[in-house]
Amino acid sequence: MTKAKELKKIAEEIEACKECKMGTTGKAVPGEGNPQAKIVFVGEAPGRQEAATGRPFIGRSGQLLRQAIRSLGISEEDVFITSVGKYIPLQGTPSAFQITHGRTHLMKQLAIIQPKIVVLLGSIAIQGVLGEKLPIKSLHGTIRQKEGTHYFLTLHPAAGLRFPPLKQLFLGDLSGPLSQLLRNS
């Protein structure tokens, strides 16, 4: 089976998943992009616009993320974009259960794509993928290496929209250390 077909199968599993739907609403947002991507961006959970359309990162924070991706000199079609939570959580942010459960789908997607770099956008993405609660304020812009994959820790773009100084940190992480990592991978 091709990577595209395998990813489609996971997306169908997410759409049919009863556990995913608990405490959430709206359409499933499995993720989208290039099945051969060298770099994957992982967020927290869909927002209102994503839940209405089924597409990841298309709201305000998505515009910021997608613009920052293009500034790296890569096209949005070259990357894969997804989140730990696959549905919008009713309480705004994913619960511990939603993080652990969303992880099971996300890890299957990452195992299919096998990217060189996984960009973790904010603390929920870090917790969901690395299984650890890490202080993002001090660790943003740093890389963890695990089994041949580079995990790049940065802020969630929504934090940058709420607090302009964090937007500068987010953009600086991508144009600085992430851009360098991309060149070297």
Structural contact between residues 119 and 39, judged by C-beta atoms closer than 8 angstroms: yes
Q: Which is nearer to ligand URA, 2 or 63 (CB)?
A: 63
88 versus 112: smaller Cβ distance to ligand URA: 88
For ligand URA, the binding residues in 15-54 under the rule CB under 6 A are: 29, 43-47, 50
In 3D, which of 90, 81, 11, 10 has the Cα closest to residue 39?
81
Task: Please tell me the distance from the alpha carbon of residue 30 to that of residue 85, in angstroms, as a whole number.
Answer: 9
CB of 183 to ligand URA, least distance (A): 26
* Of 29 and 155, CB closest to ligand URA: 29
Between 2 and 108, name the residue whose CB sits nearer to ligand URA. Answer: 108
**Interaction with ligand URA in 98-127: which residues (CB under 6 A)?**
none
Letters for 52-91 (x = contact with ligand URA by CB under 6 A, - = none) are: ----xx-x-xx--------------------x--------
CA–CA gap between residue 49 and residue 129 (Å, rounded):
24
Position closest to ligand URA via CB: 43
Other C-beta atoms closer than 10 Å to the C-beta of 137 total: 11
130-135 contacts, C-beta under 8 A, 24 or more apart: 131/103
Q: Collapsing DSSP states into helix, strand and coil, what is residue 89? A: strand
As a whole number of angstroms, the longest Cα–Cα distance in the chain is 45
Residues forming contacts to ligand URA in the complex (CB under 6 A) are: 29, 43-47, 50, 56-57, 59, 61-62, 83
